[in-house]
Amino acid sequence: MTALAGRHALVTGGSRGIGRAVAAALTGAGAVVTVLGRDQVTLKEAIAQGDAAAFVIADVTDAAAVGAGITRAAAQHGPIDILVANAGGAESAPFAKADPEQFRRLFELNVMVARRFGRIVAVASTAGLKGYAYVSAYSATKHAVVGLVRSLALETATTGVTVNAVCPGYTDTDMVRESAARIASKTGRPADEAVAAMVRNNPLGRLIRPDEVAEAVLYLCSPAAAAVTGTTMTIAGGEI
């Protein structure tokens, strides 16, 4: 596939899990992919295994570090055409620490608008569409991401820049496996039982695969999705 040939994509949290799968999918579609994250070892692995072309070390909650990283990436491979905002965790939300000016710089909206092409995809969660017990703070941040996407999409609708979110259910990532392990250590139940409880409301009865999320992101980043903006694409096996 060469649908994204010549496009420069930045994937935050791109060294593992959903981010890594997204980086690989975008690379496979011809994009030059820069992955951003904190772990140099896994970032280098992504390059070595052909899932990305370059990496930037930065913590997404550090606006200055992210800004410097984006500047380096753009200097190396050109302006960023595609941003996949994947980095995050169960206890914090990167967007919460960025004021509007930092947010604008982060997404390089001026550059995207000037080029009449841009794809921004935020990796949210089904927790951005419904509530879950015991994770109220996490759910609140994901609802905020979805709201932000919908609002920004309206502002950029006529510019060639699209803004969307994907909302996966529980996905087979390190974060979910670590959560299951924590539940197991607190309750004495096997980790597999904790995972089974997570997918209880998923008609598929299993964790979502990272590559399944990546394929949805790839579509939203493609030229074919030029009329798709302000949407939330749910990958949750029928849970929503």
Task: Name residues of the chain where pLDDT drops below 50.
Answer: 90-96, 106
* Token pair for 227: 């009329």
Count of alpha carbons within 13 Å of 208, Cβ hemisphere only? 27
pLDDT score, position 88: 66
The span from the CA of 39 to the CA of 43, in Å, is 6
* Token pair for 122: 């935020």
pLDDT score, position 1: 63
pLDDT score, position 24: 98
pLDDT score, position 93: 38
Sequence-separated (6 or more) residues with CB below 8 Å from residue 2: 29, 30
Cβ-based neighbour number of residue 45 at 10 Å: 16
pLDDT score, position 108: 57
Cβ-based neighbour number of residue 218 at 10 Å: 24
The answer to whether 237 and 202 have CB atoms below 8 angstroms apart is yes
* Token pair for 213: 């999320």
Amino acid letter, residue 80: I
If DSSP codes are grouped into helix, strand and coil, which group holds residue 163? strand
The span from the CA of 14 to the CA of 42, in Å, is 9
pLDDT score, position 107: 54
Cβ-based neighbour number of residue 41 at 10 Å: 7
The answer to whether 32 and 25 have CB atoms below 8 angstroms apart is no
The span from the CA of 162 to the CA of 99, in Å, is 21
Tell me the whole-structure pTM to 2 decimals.
0.89
Task: Estimate to the nearest angstrom the gap between the alpha carbon of 73 and the chain centroid.
Answer: 18
pLDDT score, position 95: 46
For the chain, give every domain's residue range.
8-169+211-234, 172-207
pLDDT score, position 96: 47
Q: Which of 132, 134, 138, 170 is catalytic?
A: 138
Using alpha carbons, list the distances in angstroms from residue 116 to 140, 157, 198.
33, 11, 41
pLDDT score, position 138: 87
Q: Does 219 participate in catalysis according to the annotation?
A: no
CATH number of 8-169+211-234: 3.40.50.720
